[in-house]
């Protein structure tokens, strides 16, 4: 059974930091990209960042470049999203998901390309 377990959400003030974790089990970690998506109130689910475990290729949404960092610990089968300089616009439920590595290479990190999903973790940033 494929499972992705997301954690690390919380409430912070503008400028604060959070680190999200996604523990992956039940699939070949190195054959997938692990991505982070978010859905804010009244908004579509959007790709935030993704990493291809096989070669470390990374992709970031433009609005988070320079603030968010995605990393992977293959031994722990865990993908992290370090989020710094958070703003209220980052408030959303964050999800991790597993999908094909080509989405990272071509920058096509969209929800319908990802096959397996974890539960969400809430991130709230207050002004």
Which pLDDT belongs to residue 116?
97
Confidence bin at 30 (pLDDT 50/70/90): confident
pLDDT band at 96 (very low <50, low <70, confident <90, very high): very high
The predicted model gives 81-106 an average pLDDT of 96
CA–CA distance, 85 with 43 (Å, rounded to integer): 21
18 pLDDT tier (thresholds 50, 70, 90): very high
Q: How many CA atoms are closer than 13 Å to the CA of 78, on its beta-carbon side?
A: 14
Whether 29 has a pLDDT exceeding 90, the answer reads no
SS3 25: strand
Instruction: Give the model's confidence band at 85: pLDDT under 50 very low, under 70 low, under 90 confident, else very high.
Output: very high
């Amino acid at each position: 059974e494929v499972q992705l377990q997301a954690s690390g959400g919380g409430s912070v003030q503008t400028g604060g930091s959070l680190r999200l974790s996604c523990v992956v089990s039940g699939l070949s970690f190195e054959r997938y990209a692990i991505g982070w998506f978010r859905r804010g109130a009244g908004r579509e689910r959007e790709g935030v960042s993704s990493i291809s475990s096989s070669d470390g290729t990374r992709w970031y949404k433009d609005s988070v470049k320079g603030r968010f960092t995605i990393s992977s610990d293959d031994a722990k089968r865990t993908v992290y999203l370090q989020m710094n300089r958070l703003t209220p616009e980052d408030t959303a439920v964050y999800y991790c998901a597993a999908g094909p590595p080509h989405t990272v290479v071509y920058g096509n990190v969209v929800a319908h390309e990802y096959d397996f999903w974890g539960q969400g973790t809430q991130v709230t940033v207050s002004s």
